[in-house]
């Protein structure tokens, strides 16, 4: 994890990883508002809108659990409207609204605002990664110190995490978002730069993605004749 800097308090010593004290770190979380019929539409085609909404709520709660205690600034970007009282504690997460015609524009807008606010290491995640852990995000910030960018490749050909130290507009342009070409296309945009990769993980988009996860067992459909 790198060098450790010790911070003194009257009653205890807190050890903070060096990479979280050396510069301003920001975690961006892109989240959809949990609205019936607008969440996990590809999954809903198999299990129905109500079940898909419940699955997404579990994913939201998981994302909150793995990020709420991270020692960095955290901003959650809502897709439709900002909700004052919900799973995202306003004392822990700064709440903002996504802007842009597609996913690339929305991500670029969030990164651009973060760098303008003075953050020097920014990591972005979504809210549909049940495989993602707090340690994965800490590792991304850690490795970003020695790389120009960080990517977490997803099994479906996209990516679940993006970390940057400066705005790179090409990364957000000319992509067929939601397809298997996104990760490969992004790597081409980053050619010539030092890119760190996290472990490949599975995001939740389709019915097949929830089959082997116990938390989603109540939402599996019985395919027996």
Residue 223 pLDDT greater than 60, yes or no:
no
102 — pLDDT class (breaks 50, 70, 90): very high
43 by DSSP, 3-state: which?
helix
Which residue has 């050909």 as its token pair? 157
Q: Give the span between the Cα atoms of 193 and 164, in whole angstroms.
A: 11
Is the pLDDT confidence value at 213 over 60? yes
The predicted-structure confidence for 121-178, as pLDDT tens digits, reads as follows: 999 999 999 999 999 999 999 999 999 999 999 999 999 999 999 999 999 999 999 8
Model confidence pLDDT, tens digit, residues 202-211: 989 999 999 9
pLDDT of 81 higher than 60: yes
Please tell me the CATH code under which domain 24-212 is placed: 3.90.550.10
| DSSP assignments along 51-117, one per residue | HHHHHHHHHHHHHHHHHTT-SSEEEEEESS---SSSSS-TTT-EEEE--SSSHHHHHHHHHHHHHHT
Question: Structure tokens of 116?
Answer: 């303008």
SS (H, E, C) 109-160: HHHHHHHHCCCCEEEEECCCCCCCCHHHHHHHHHHHCCCCEEEEEECCCCEE
For residues 84-108, give the mean pLDDT.
96
Q: Distance between CA atoms of 75 and 72, rounded to whole angstroms?
A: 10
CB 41 within 8 A of CB 128: no
* pLDDT, tens only, 41-80: 999 999 999 999 999 999 999 999 999 999 999 999 999 9
Find tokens 């010593």 and name the residue.
Answer: 13
Q: How deeply is 59 buried, as exposed, middle or buried, from its count of CB atoms within 10 A (0-12, 13-18, 19+)?
A: buried
Q: Are 102 and 173 in contact (CB under 8 A)?
A: no
The structural domains of the chain, with segments of one domain joined by +, span: 24-212
Backbone angles phi, psi at 192, to 5 degrees: 95, -10
Q: Name the helix (H) or strand (E) containing 182.
A: helix 182-189
Q: How far apart, in whole angstroms, are the C-alpha atoms of residue 83 and residue 70?
A: 22
Better-scored residue on pLDDT, 90 or 5:
90
Percent of the chain with pLDDT over 90: 84
């Amino acid at each position: 994890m790198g060098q450790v800097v010790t911070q003194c308090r009257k009653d205890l010593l807190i050890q903070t990883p060096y990479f979280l004290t050396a510069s301003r770190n920001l975690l961006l979380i892109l989240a959809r508002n949990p609205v019936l019929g607008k969440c996990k539409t590809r999954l809903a085609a198999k299990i129905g809108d109500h079940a898909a909404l419940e699955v997404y709520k579990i994913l939201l709660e998981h994302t909150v659990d793995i990020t709420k205690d991270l020692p960095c600034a955290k901003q959650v970007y809502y897709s439709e409207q900002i909700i004052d009282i919900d799973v995202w504690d306003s004392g822990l997460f700064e709440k903002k609204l996504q802007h842009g015609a597609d996913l690339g524009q929305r991500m670029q807008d969030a990164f651009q605002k973060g760098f303008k606010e003075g953050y020097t290491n920014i990591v972005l995640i979504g809210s549909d990664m049940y495989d993602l852990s707090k340690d994965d995000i800490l590792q991304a910030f850690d490795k970003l110190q020695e790389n120009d960018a960080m990517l977490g490749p997803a099994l479906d050909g996209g990516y679940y995490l993006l970390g940057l130290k400066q705005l790179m507009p090409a990364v957000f342009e000319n992509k067929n978002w939601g397809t298997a070409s996104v990760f490969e296309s992004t790597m081409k945009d980053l050619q010539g730069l030092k890119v760190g990769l996290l472990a490949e993980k599975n995001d939740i988009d389709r019915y097949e993605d929830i089959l082997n996860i116990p938390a989603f067992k109540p939402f599996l459909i019985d395919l027996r004749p």
